Structure 1
């Protein structure tokens, strides 16, 4: 059996792996985008709320406002961590895709090399067959010529 055909299942598996890793990367990029959008929303909301000129009429209202800003700031910090974690996940998956692509490329190059070798073997075999055929025809022609000379 030809070596290049034995690599074909490995190539298909490498392609499937690369495709799966690429899909996972796309999902992680979407998650990162969603986290970044949420972060921007929180930043905008915090800025808007912090800059609003709400008249606090009592110490209780001031305390409530401060507590709300603290909760908002805490949510903002949590979202920053989510973005950082999500960005790290994207980077990890991007590296996995790079490795999967390289693995597939190595197999493709190996299969191509095998196909070239197999093609060369076939060409040499065909050339030998043509040479043998030519040698047989030449011998037959010589024998025929000798026979004619002998009959003459």
Structure 2
């Protein structure tokens, strides 16, 4: 078994690891998009609710208190969702970094295997050339011996 062939199982493992990390990154990206969409929808709702509660007129003190309390709850929900979005974004960055590392590891092994294959090819070419040279030399010797009585 050649050195390049011994690397093949390791190459498969690194490729599988890279694929798994890429899949994980895709899942994290999807989760981030969902969390961002929830945040955007909540923000739109909060912005719409911030507009004057009733067209014209005034609110009763109890209704105004309820309105203020609800806006406070919306603001809290917005802050919490913003934290969830930030956390999801950080998770994506971690996975992206893991993918870059896995990709780099795989590329290094691929380059090493290619280098081994190239060296093995050069060795095989030199061996074949030596064999051809030896065969040619034997034919010349044999022709010379056959022509000299």
TM-score, with length taken from structure 2: 0.95
**Could you list the per-position Cα deviations for residues 70-104 of structure 1 after superposition, in whole angstroms to 9, with x for gaps in the alignment?**
11110000000011111111111100000000000
**How many residues are treated as equivalent by the alignment?**
147
User: What stretches of structure 1 of length at least 5 have no aligned partner?
Assistant: 148-152
The 2-side partners of 1:137 and 1:77 are apart by 89
**Could you list the per-position Cα deviations for residues 97-126 of structure 1 after superposition, in whole angstroms to 9, with x for gaps in the alignment?**
000000000000000000001001111110
2:72 counterpart (62, 70, 74): 70
1:29 is aligned to 2:29: yes
Report the secondary structure of 1:53's partner residue.
Answer: coil
| Within-5 A mapping of 1:8-27 | 8-27=8-27
The 2-side partners of 1:95 and 1:49 are apart by 40
Q: CA RMSD in A?
A: 1.0
More deviation in 86-95 or 48-57?
Answer: 48-57
User: What stretches of structure 2 of length at least 5 have no aligned partner?
Assistant: none
1:150 corresponding residue in structure 2: none
TM-score, with length taken from structure 1: 0.94
2:62 corresponding residue in structure 1: 60
2:119 counterpart (117, 131, 134): 117
| Within-5 A mapping of 1:64-143 | 64-143=66-145
The 1:13/1:56 distance shift into structure 2, 3 A limit, reads: farther
Structure showing greater Rg: 1
